Amino acid sequence: MLIARNLTCLRGDRLLFKKVGFELSAGGLMYVLGENGSGKSSLLRLLCGLLAPEDGEVFWDGKSIKNDPENHQSNLTYIGHLNGLKDDLTALENLQFSARLVANVVDNGLALNALTATGVARCANLPVGVLSQGQKRRVALARLWLSTSQLWILDEPFAALDTASVVVLTTQLNQHMAKGGMAIITTHQDVDIQAQSTQTLRLIA
Amino acid sequence: MKINWFKYSSPQVFYPLAGKLIPWFAWLAAILALVGLYVSFMLAPTDFQQGEAYRIIFVHVPAAWMSMVIYIVMAAWAALGLALNARLSAMMAQALAPTGAIFTLLALVTGSLWGKPMWGAWWVWDARLTSELILLFLYLGFIALQSSIDDPRRADRAGALLALVGVVNVPIIYFSVKWWNTLHQGSSINMGAAPKMAATMLLGMLLMALAFWMYTVAVALMRVRCIMLERERNTDWVKELSLKTLSSQSIAGAK
Amino acid sequence: MQWASWSAFFNMGGYAFYVWFSFGLSLVCVILEVLALRKRRAQALRFARLLAQE
Amino acid sequence: MIVLKRDLLLAFRRRSDVATTLFFFLIVSSLFPLGIGPEAAVLSSIAPGVLWVAALLAGMISLSRLFAADFADGSLEQMLIAPQPLALLVLAKISAHWIVCGLPVVLLAPLIGLQYALPNDALVVLVFSLLLGTPALSLIGAIGAALTLGVRGSGLLVALLVLPLYIPVLIFGAGAVAASQHGMSAQAHLSLLAACALLSLVLAPLATAAALRISVE
């Protein structure tokens, strides 16, 4: 259960949003919508604990993520604007590193399966630096196939993806939701994800 | 006794309060300085070893004291700001830094002005001067870091952390410099710690140090007011205030 | 009183330059800092006024 | 551990970056004899200071690489939200940085010491002092690197922040070599250097972790 109360976010001397609150329970999906610069990414970073709110608090399982970050972090998978990939490592190495960072030890087979699912298996042993934007994004998203965390926070996951990959990602999200996972997503596209409950948060610039 | 500290930590409330306090501290500083100067020049006896040149210590030693005190106070405000996420504390830390740097510079220059007639050289790598020089670098680093970060909240917090790291390091640096100094040259004349200092000399130094202290408070309050105006220029209270001062200034201009 | 005459006072036992330069510099620093802060405040207010009048 | 392995692998794939640091150290320490003159007596008397300052500068110019790349490609924020103590991850990164940028300098230093006509036992002390001191430099430098992350002019700024904090290490390190040169025991210096290294080992990762959280916001 993720609860946000009274969140206020300032960037510089600009107020992005104030008094944002919501509750997200198991199997719940939330879309965050708004124009560019309305603070969508900041809200997601705030929910990850990367950004400290000016006011308000975020609770995971009833405990503030400021006081008990570990429990929240071990249930969280965040894919932001940046892919978090090293250009000098291969796709496979990148994926294994990010999985081991959250202490899931992953063997080659599982990681390769994840890359196959997103359609970049052929690039598994290439350094990420030589891949195209779309391919890089798919390598980053492959983390979702290895993730065991309950909460997924995804910033524009569908951007830079072709139609086939959008379908693949939607299916994966459907499965995650069916297993009682939670997801918070920003998107500009119309996508159809099946969830037990769906809510929309609109930020006004 | 219960005081609502948080009431005064809002800039809007603190701004006029600081405005009322500034003249008091400024006058106190001026009076203390006048008395201090009288004691330093008229009452304190001539030093039998150093002649009249020793009178430089009446500005050098207080400046050196203040440079260290201000750094510690600055770090304390910074720590408070970091711990309580209080904007005002961070602003106070930021307001103190330039004054601290000025006192450090003053201590350095007056130290070398004292050194020339005593040691025959403008600069001697003595422990006190060297530490003072390093302290100046620490102040400059703090100011440079804060001014190169655009986001005020990040600037506050990064500056606070740097001040804390600095304050942990200051004793280590001071010790290492002293150690280095004793290894490389024997004991030198130690200014400000003559074996038998007349009571009036000590009194003069204390009075001057107090004057500097009051001056620091007044100037820091002035600066914190400037910082508030700059940071909160989009808020209603600053806008209102700026319009009010406009009318009073135009009246003054018409006279 | 320490001094036989005013000229002895200003002479500072031959160290006049060092002593008066030290004290003079301190005074200059104080005055400059206060003036700079007054200017900064006026500027901040002017800027805020421009924002308010927009 | 995993972070350490990854950073070493990355450094291995970018060997030229490592070479740059080493090259810088070589060039700086070769400039002094050219500027001062080749008299062995003069050179050996300035050697401890010069070698230590060169090592210090070499460590400092490589600091900008410590977090900047991870910050730019987003892997740093993944580390910040990983369910592991950030200070430990930071320590792993600093260790990798030291192995890549500090250790080669330590190994190269005795060769340059020979150019400066340092006697043998002073060379041994030089290596020892660098072995104790350069980790402290990396640890302290990491705080500065984290604070200036993504700030304009961060390269120069980091020098301004970090160099004053390096002074104790420089004094004890160069002092140790000088002491052994003059036939005295370097033990006092080396113990103080070890104390500095230990203190920074305890405090610097915590401070760096806090600084990263501030900077990545």
- At residue B1, the pLDDT reads 35
Supply φ then ψ for residue B118, to 5 degrees: -85, -45
In a domain, A164, yes or no: no
pTM of the full structure = 0.88
User: What are the Cα distances from residue D102, in Å, to D5, D112, D133, D163?
Assistant: 17, 15, 10, 16
118-147 in chain A: CB under 8 A from chain D: 127
Q: How large is the ipTM?
A: 0.88
What whole-number percentage of chain C has pLDDT above 90? 37
Distance of CA B20 to the CA centre of its chain: 21
Query: Which of B172, B173, B177, B184 to mutate: most D Cβ within 10 Å?
Result: B172
* C39–chain B Cβ distance below 8 A for any pair: no
Orientation of helix B152-184 relative to helix D187-216, angle to 10°: 170
Please list the residues that pair with A31 across neighbouring strands: A185, A200
pLDDT tens digit sequence for C26-49: 999 999 999 999 999 999 888 888
In a domain, A159, yes or no: no
| pLDDT higher than 80, residue A154 | yes
* Domain boundaries along the sequence of chain B: 20-45+53-254
Residue corresponding to tokens 């060169």: D54
Distance spanning both ends of chain B, measured CA to CA: 49
Range of the domain at A114: 76-148
pLDDT tens digit sequence for B1-32: 334 444 456 778 888 888 899 999 999 999 99
| pLDDT higher than 70, residue A101 | yes
Q: What is the CATH number of the domain that holds A61?
A: 3.40.50.300
Q: Are residues A57 and A92 in the same domain?
A: no
Task: Report chain A residues whose CB lies below 8 A from the CB of D4.
Answer: none
CA gap D151, D140 in Å, rounded: 19
Orientation of helix A108-117 relative to helix A91-101, angle to 10°: 110
Please state, rounded to an integer, the average pLDDT across all residues of chain A. Answer: 87
Structural domains of chain A, count: 2
Supply φ then ψ for residue A151, to 5 degrees: -105, 125
The answer to whether the CB of D193 falls within 8 A of the CB of D169 is: yes
Q: Point out the residue among B102, B226, B234 whose CB comes nearest to the CB of C41.
A: B226
Chains contacting A with at least 3 CB pairs below 8 Å? B, D
Query: Which of B195, B100, B194, B182 has the alpha carbon at shortest distance from B139?
Result: B100
Q: Collect all residues with Cβ–Cβ distance below 8 Å to B74 and sequence separation of at least 6.
A: B93, B96, B97, B100, B142, B163
Query: Which of B229, B145, B122, B215 has the alpha carbon at shortest distance from C51?
Result: B229
What whole-number percentage of chain A has pLDDT above 90? 20
A15, closest residue in chain B (CA to CA) = B234
When computed from its CA atoms, the radius of gyration of chain C, rounded to whole angstroms, is: 21
Orientation of helix D86-97 relative to helix D187-216, angle to 10°: 120
* D153–chain B Cβ distance below 8 A for any pair: yes
Distance of CA D71 to the CA centre of its chain: 21
- At residue B161, the pLDDT reads 94
The answer to whether the CB of D110 falls within 8 A of the CB of D155 is: no
